[in-house]
Structure 1
């Protein structure tokens, strides 16, 4: 099948929800580029996000994140994965709404914890109680993530390809975002 993507698909949600892995699969299935705002920031800064947080603080990081998202949204339609906190900023939500479509990957706290508990690359979880920190973030961010244009529920039984198919099915309901050529 041949797809025509009219707007950038911006994946939002908690750390560990699968934005990068699912985003790559969605982009591959749609035949469009995959971009990752965190990877763009790391490349531009030549340091990890944890290092940026430590050296310059979260407000500095969030300002750079907004600049990168604006630049990436200004390009050709693609699939864009964002950091877990990106959608919290009203300026980012406004930009995404104007130039793209937000897709929230929803996952249970238990599933998120199973995916992030053994990783030290999450600066917001570098605390004596990382599960408590994740729980607080999860509860604090839920209402904002609910503002996304589309929401897709992750399940622990879904593979990356299963989730990608769920996202594409949700996007197909939006012809202003995604059209298919059934004959292609």
Structure 2
């Protein structure tokens, strides 16, 4: 069956929802940031600081190439993975995109104590989050299903995704 690709901004709940959804579906769960850290032996923060965003995006692209076309995966993507049209094209071959959308306020509450996230490490947090959300709105718009997550629990989100997949006979 198709893989489920969770997209959305950092702090939107992709990893939490993804691991729970994978368990419910009996699929393998892959968090792309964690997979990149495993392969490189470096944290995402270290990759960004030592080698820059270009190297990190290159690692993402390599991972996507390995995952494209595979069945029975729930993939939690890094927030910027879908900025690459090639990543999207490859994952579309056997995947359904689900976007988890959160407001800037929700994201700030969730990430404010996690300033190790490279794109949020400097400057005014609200301005950075608001600007990045606006820049990425179109990229996240590729999803078949978009869920506003601010008022939902992870289990409610899993239920919505599961119902959607069932109705479309993806599972």
TM-score normalised by the chain length of structure 1: 0.88
Displacement over 6 Å in runs of 4+: none
The 1-side partners of 2:37 and 2:160 are apart by 29
Q: What count of residue pairs does the alignment treat as equivalent? A: 171
1:152 and 1:170 in contact (8 A); partners too: no
Unaligned runs of 5+ in 1: 1-5, 179-184
1:116 is matched with: 111
1:56 is matched with: 51
1:76 partnered with 2:75: no
2:108 and 2:125 in contact (8 A); partners too: no
Superposed CA RMSD: 1.2
42-51 or 66-75: bigger deviation: 66-75
1:133 partnered with 2:128: yes
The 1-side partners of 2:6 and 2:47 are apart by 22
Paired residue for 1:142, among 137, 141, 150? 137
- Displacement of 1:74 in angstroms is 4.1
The 1-side partners of 2:58 and 2:167 are apart by 33
Aligned-partner SS, 2:93: helix
1:107 and 1:155 in contact (8 A); partners too: yes
1:94 is matched with: 89
Aligned-partner SS, 1:55: helix
